[in-house]
Amino acid sequence: MFSFLNQMPYQRGPWLLLFIGGLSLEFCALYFQHVMKLDPCVMCVYERVAMLGLTLAGLFTCIAPNYLLFRLTGFALWIASAAWGLQLALTHTDYQMNPSPFATCDFFANFPDWFKLDQWFPWMFNPIGYCDEIAWMFLGWSMPQWLIAIFAGFLALGIVFFVLQWRKK
């Protein structure tokens, strides 16, 4: 069993699955925004960027998972994106569960001048909602609470597969 798991980072399938999983969640976000008319807030937009990092990690590493440079870059992007997404989702949940006029998110996305996603792709990255508003719930959890579970799962899997690649065959 462990030999099968040890080989997974070297195969395209798991990386393709990471790409498809991240892309599916991005499509879900767009469905919530454009079909269900749920306006994304700044934290939602940043969480989308973190999910995009996971998606790109899967796509990039799928090119050549047998090469160490590709795998290490993929794992770095995977783990960093999942950790950042988890931190964002925790903060976003705090905004919703403990609303305060002193702890709010920005009204505009603060992307660097060389990476203005909100201007290049406003249909996906333009925040027009409020961070403390709970507009959707499923099984008693709000969207950022679900994202905590999702990003934590991605982070745990990233760490496990990163460690597994170094086990002796």
- Taking only the tens of pLDDT, the chain with its 169 residues reads 556 666 777 778 889 999 999 999 999 999 999 899 998 888 999 999 999 999 999 999 998 888 888 989 999 999 999 999 999 999 999 888 887 777 677 777 777 778 777 778 877 788 887 777 788 878 988 999 999 999 999 999 999 888 887 766 5
Q: What is the pLDDT of residue 145?
A: 94
Report the catalytic residues.
Answer: 41, 44, 48, 105, 131
Task: Burial-class residue 133 by CB neighbours within 10 Å (0-12, 13-18, 19+).
Answer: middle
> What is the dihedral sign for C-alpha 117, 37, 95, 19?
negative
pTM reported for the whole predicted model: 0.86
99 Cβ partners below 8 Å, 6+ apart?
Answer: 132
Q: How many CA atoms lie within 13 A of 25 on its CB side?
A: 25
